[in-house]
Chains A and B, each alone.
Chain A
Amino acid sequence: MIRRSIAVLASLAVPLIALALGGYQGGLFAQFALYGVATAALALCWGFAGILSLGHAVSFGIGAYVAAWCGINIPEGGTMLGILFGGLAAGAVSLLVGLVGLRGRVNVITFALLTFVLLFGAVEVVNQLTPITGGFNGLAGVPPLNLGDLWTADPVAQRVIVTIAAVGLIWLLIVVARSPFGGALVLAKTHAIRAASSGYNIPAFRIGTFAFAGVVTGLAGALFSTQTQFVAPDQISLLLATNFVLWAMIGSRTSIIGAFFTAIVISYITNELADKFLTLWLLAMGIIFIAVVVLIPDGIAEAVLKRLPERWRPRRAVTLTTTEQGGAGGGQALEATGITCTFAKFTAVDNVDFSARSGVHCLIGPNGAGKSTLLNALSGTVPPTSGKWRVGNTDLTKMRPWKMARAGVARKFQAPAIAPELTVAQNLAVARLGVTVHPFALIFSPWRADLTSTAWRILETGDLVKLLDTPASRLAHGQRQVLELAMTFASRPTLVLLDEPTAGMTAAETASIADILRTEAAGLDIPIVVVEHDMALIRSAASAVTVLQAGRVLATGTVAEIENNAEVTRAYVGEGL
């Protein structure tokens, strides 16, 4: 309640300040608020999605120029159209950049470089395309906000409307950043494959976020040109792009609000100092830049939050519920034929046929036999060279991991893959929501997730129920394993693939996990495929065992059959584990 009131008061304060300050100062404030919006949009990309743009001024400049041009050249309603087109044009350019640079595996540095060269290109265009952009002189005489002949904003109305719009855009950014959508971006920042295996099409999410930030920044730029009634190459310059990055970094790229207010405050200081000592100011800016990188790379907001007492810190309340889903929808078997995985000249999995009915099906074999490779192939994270597989009537061949997750395939990785920046409950909610909620709905969906009873049993075993609101970064290794296992069972799966789920646990913990796997496989009536070394787990949980050796199936059968199989014994001569 208190938090909400503070948020509302802060939102009201921004236009009120613009109103209270005199004409010139109020106008400046409105301009700086728009810089703040652009900075906050950059923070969304950088701090949440993990993509750094060194050319963020391109979006701002496009918005400003498009709006200015339309405002001047389209007599009726040009200003409003211009603002709309400005946002859309900036979004379209960002979308294009995202489509080129954010598909597949992303190298942050290469992408930063791409946005940087785009900035250089844009600067050239603005400076040289004089007939349209006015060249070095820019475009003067941009009309303020107006509805044609009906209404034209006076300076006071202008700056109040602009600041209200700025606050609105900030709210929009906050909604995205704090939604489960933002949570998925944060998970993908540390574990892209985990996020994919939770049902998120991560490249699309990143491209979408970048384009959305482009639209918001473009709108900020467009409003800026109506506020200053003038547009110049400054709005698309290297200096502005540098400032956006600097402000976002100082304010905290992981805090939309921190980035917004820092941009405003520093803009003020810059404005006071820059006119008087330009060269020295730029020099100081360079030094500040280096100092911030070295001393407070996470930014002020993050540093302040860390020092606040626990109860003052903003919490993301997550509601986790459970409702027994009735009816065993499972009973479908996994059928894989001719799975082959070849890397360069090396064949790790060689024409393997594999089927698993409901129950725990263990994959064993010496290290290097191809167990993890087979699991990666079946879960689509490293697609096989050839082969087909399906669960029941659902063909999984060539399906991307995120689609597979939405088709009911759940996957756990060997090293625990969780988002340390999110709380335990947020991790669970992100894992749960990705499977069923539409990507766009995620933005507005509350942090509320209905976990399966299996997930709750696992959490209880690991004693995690009382740690739900703890940041996952504070969990020990074993607890992270339990958390990721619970995430795997967060929604009702039709097939579960586990890579050494008990690695790093004690014998007692392993025994209880084995118990859960056995009873849940029966209860849910689904196949659970487990790569495992631990014979104790295998004996207590497995209904079937497949032995791999050198990429081929050596034998398949019940535990007893495998233990009495002469060929298997020979392969394991002297091998205890």
Chain B
Amino acid sequence: MTLLEVHGLVAGYAGARIVTGLDLVIQPGEVVALLGRNGAGKSTAVSAITGTLPAMDGTVLVAGADVTKSQPSRRYQLGMRAVRQDQPILRDLTVAENLRMVGASKEAAAECFPFLADRASQRAGTLSGGEQKMLAVARTAANPGTLWILDEPSEGLQPKNVDRCAQLIRGAAARGVGVLLVEQHLGMALTVADRWLVMETGAVIDQGNVSAKTHETVSRRLAV
């Protein structure tokens, strides 16, 4: 079954269309990297797919069900797990409460990132930016659902933890989870992804399967 289908998605803020027509399909076990320069519309697309921003047009199907007009919690029930870019965790709750909320066990989370074991009762807002990202990834890995939407999970992480993060993504994909990965860290993205898409001014301008040449192709596309 297709995990995520996005057709002609249009989204934006206060009348400005930032995503202007996005098509995207994710199958089980597939990691798709969504790339593009800042402001290309990646995060807006993610918000519309996860449902925190209402779509202006187009459809979003999660596990075959049309969720275009549904709340994010409905998408969660259908197996979607999201890590957003800014403040990906609940700052006012403790680390343990952040995990407990989604039924993730402390042990499972600590297996992903061991430092979490000692921080259970710490208020999550006092973690550093990178640690918050790791908590969010651990929260997702410990209760994986079937579809991950990750917006820059490696932001602010040490190289060692970036590798661990990539490992967790590959591990989930091996068990059939589909992953949409928005990344600035091109190296990391292309290590874990099966397919890539490049967005510009709100739409996909190029895409393909990841191969040895991808880094060069994509770099040129992104005008770096």
Using a CB–CB distance below 8 Å, which chain A residues touch chain B? 344-346, 366-368, 416, 420, 473-478, 480-481, 500, 502-507, 510, 533-536, 573-577
- CA A344 – CA B130 in complex, angstroms? 15
Is B102 on the interface with A (CB-CB < 8 A)? Answer: no
8 tightest Cβ-Cβ pairs between the two chains A and B: A574-B187, A503-B39, A576-B186, A504-B39, A368-B156, A477-B16, A536-B223, A535-B224
Are B16 and A475 touching (Cβ within 8 A)? yes
Are B184 and A577 touching (Cβ within 8 A)? yes
- CA A346 – CA B156 in complex, angstroms? 12
Is B194 on the interface with A (CB-CB < 8 A)? Answer: no
Q: Which residues of A contact B130 (CB under 8 A)?
A: 368
Is B215 on the interface with A (CB-CB < 8 A)? Answer: yes
CB-CB contacts below 8 Å: B13-54 with A: 14-18, 37-41
- CA A263 – CA B224 in complex, angstroms? 60
Are B37 and A577 touching (Cβ within 8 A)? yes
Which of A367, A420, A502, A573 is packed against the most chain B CB atoms within 10 Å?
A367
Is B5 on the interface with A (CB-CB < 8 A)? Answer: no
Query: Which chain A residue has the least Cβ–Cβ distance from B216?
Result: A576
- CA A504 – CA B200 in complex, angstroms? 7
Are A367 and B156 touching (Cβ within 8 A)? yes
Q: Which residues of A contact B200 (CB under 8 A)?
A: 506-507
* Min distance, Cβ B127 to any Cβ of chain A, angstroms: 8
The one of B17, B40, B222 that contacts A576, using a Cβ cutoff of 8 Å: B222
Q: Which residues of B contact A533 (CB under 8 A)?
A: 37-38, 184
Query: Which chain A residue has the least Cβ–Cβ distance from B159?
Result: A573
Q: Which residues of B contact A345 (CB under 8 A)?
A: 126
Query: Which chain B residue has the least Cβ–Cβ distance from A503?
Result: B39
- CA A529 – CA B14 in complex, angstroms? 29
Is B72 on the interface with A (CB-CB < 8 A)? Answer: no
Q: Which residues of A contact B119 (CB under 8 A)?
A: none
Query: Which chain A residue has the least Cβ–Cβ distance from B158?
Result: A550
- CA A533 – CA B185 in complex, angstroms? 12
Q: Which residues of A contact B202 (CB under 8 A)?
A: 477
Q: Which residues of A contact B184 (CB under 8 A)?
A: 366-367, 533, 575, 577
* CB-defined A-B contacts under 8 Å, sample of 28: A344-B125, A345-B126, A346-B126, A366-B156, A367-B155, A367-B184, A368-B129, A475-B16, A476-B16, A476-B17, A477-B16, A500-B38, A500-B39, A502-B39, A503-B37, A503-B39, A504-B201, A506-B200, A533-B38, A534-B224, A536-B223, A574-B186, A574-B191, A575-B184, A575-B186, A577-B37, A577-B185, A577-B224
Are A575 and B185 touching (Cβ within 8 A)? yes
Which of B38, B128, B188 is packed against the most chain A CB atoms within 10 Å?
B38
* Min distance, Cβ A509 to any Cβ of chain B, angstroms: 9
The one of A344, A502, A505, A576 that contacts B187, using a Cβ cutoff of 8 Å: A576
* Min distance, Cβ A298 to any Cβ of chain B, angstroms: 15
Are A576 and B224 touching (Cβ within 8 A)? yes
- CA A535 – CA B215 in complex, angstroms? 16
CB-CB contacts below 8 Å: B116-161 with A: 125-126, 128-130, 152, 155-156, 159
Is B219 on the interface with A (CB-CB < 8 A)? Answer: yes
Are B39 and A576 touching (Cβ within 8 A)? no
Q: Which residues of B contact A574 (CB under 8 A)?
A: 185-188, 191
Are A576 and B156 touching (Cβ within 8 A)? no
The one of A346, A477, A480 that contacts B128, using a Cβ cutoff of 8 Å: A346
Are A536 and B39 touching (Cβ within 8 A)? no
Query: What mask results when residues 163 to 194 of chain B are scored 1 for a CB within 8 Å of chain A, else 0?
Result: 00000000000000000000011111001000
Are B186 and A420 touching (Cβ within 8 A)? no
* Interface contacts beyond A368-B130, A504-B201, A573-B187: sample of 20 additional A-B pairs, CB < 8 Å, sorted by A: A346-B128, A346-B129, A366-B155, A366-B184, A368-B129, A477-B18, A503-B38, A504-B38, A505-B39, A506-B201, A507-B223, A510-B223, A533-B38, A535-B224, A574-B185, A574-B191, A576-B186, A576-B222, A576-B224, A577-B224
Q: Which residues of A contact B188 (CB under 8 A)?
A: 574
Query: Which chain B residue has the least Cβ–Cβ distance from A474?
Result: B15
Are B38 and A420 touching (Cβ within 8 A)? no
* Min distance, Cβ B44 to any Cβ of chain A, angstroms: 9
* Min distance, Cβ A217 to any Cβ of chain B, angstroms: 32
* Min distance, Cβ A138 to any Cβ of chain B, angstroms: 48
- CA A372 – CA B201 in complex, angstroms? 22
The answer to whether A535 and B39 touch (CB under 8 A), given A476-B17, A577-B186, is no
- CA A504 – CA B201 in complex, angstroms? 5
Q: Which residues of B contact A536 (CB under 8 A)?
A: 223-224
Are A420 and B155 touching (Cβ within 8 A)? no
- CA A574 – CA B37 in complex, angstroms? 16
Q: Which residues of B contact A507 (CB under 8 A)?
A: 200, 223
* Min distance, Cβ A431 to any Cβ of chain B, angstroms: 18
Is B89 on the interface with A (CB-CB < 8 A)? Answer: no
Are A420 and B15 touching (Cβ within 8 A)? yes
* Min distance, Cβ B14 to any Cβ of chain A, angstroms: 6
The answer to whether A420 and B126 touch (CB under 8 A), given A536-B224, A575-B186, is no
Are A534 and B12 touching (Cβ within 8 A)? no
Q: Which residues of B contact A473 (CB under 8 A)?
A: 14-15
Q: Which residues of B contact A480 (CB under 8 A)?
A: 16
- CA A107 – CA B199 in complex, angstroms? 37
Is B204 on the interface with A (CB-CB < 8 A)? Answer: no
The one of B14, B125, B218 that contacts A420, using a Cβ cutoff of 8 Å: B14
Q: Which residues of A contact B219 (CB under 8 A)?
A: 576
Q: Which residues of B contact A366 (CB under 8 A)?
A: 155-156, 184-185
- CA A417 – CA B116 in complex, angstroms? 38
Q: Which residues of A contact B159 (CB under 8 A)?
A: 573
- CA A261 – CA B130 in complex, angstroms? 58
* Min distance, Cβ B208 to any Cβ of chain A, angstroms: 16
Query: Which chain B residue has the least Cβ–Cβ distance from A533?
Result: B38
Are A504 and B40 touching (Cβ within 8 A)? yes
The answer to whether A575 and B187 touch (CB under 8 A), given A367-B155, A503-B38, A504-B40, is yes
Q: Which residues of B contact A510 (CB under 8 A)?
A: 223
Q: Which residues of A contact B39 (CB under 8 A)?
A: 481, 500, 502-505
Query: Which chain B residue has the least Cβ–Cβ distance from A415?
Result: B13
Which of B14, B39, B219, B223 is packed against the most chain A CB atoms within 10 Å?
B39
Q: Which residues of A contact B41 (CB under 8 A)?
A: 504
* Min distance, Cβ A143 to any Cβ of chain B, angstroms: 53
Query: Which chain B residue has the least Cβ–Cβ distance from A478?
Result: B201
* Min distance, Cβ B206 to any Cβ of chain A, angstroms: 12
Q: Which residues of A contact B37 (CB under 8 A)?
A: 503, 533-534, 577
* Min distance, Cβ A550 to any Cβ of chain B, angstroms: 8
* Min distance, Cβ A534 to any Cβ of chain B, angstroms: 6
* Min distance, Cβ B34 to any Cβ of chain A, angstroms: 13
Q: Which residues of A contact B16 (CB under 8 A)?
A: 416, 475-477, 480
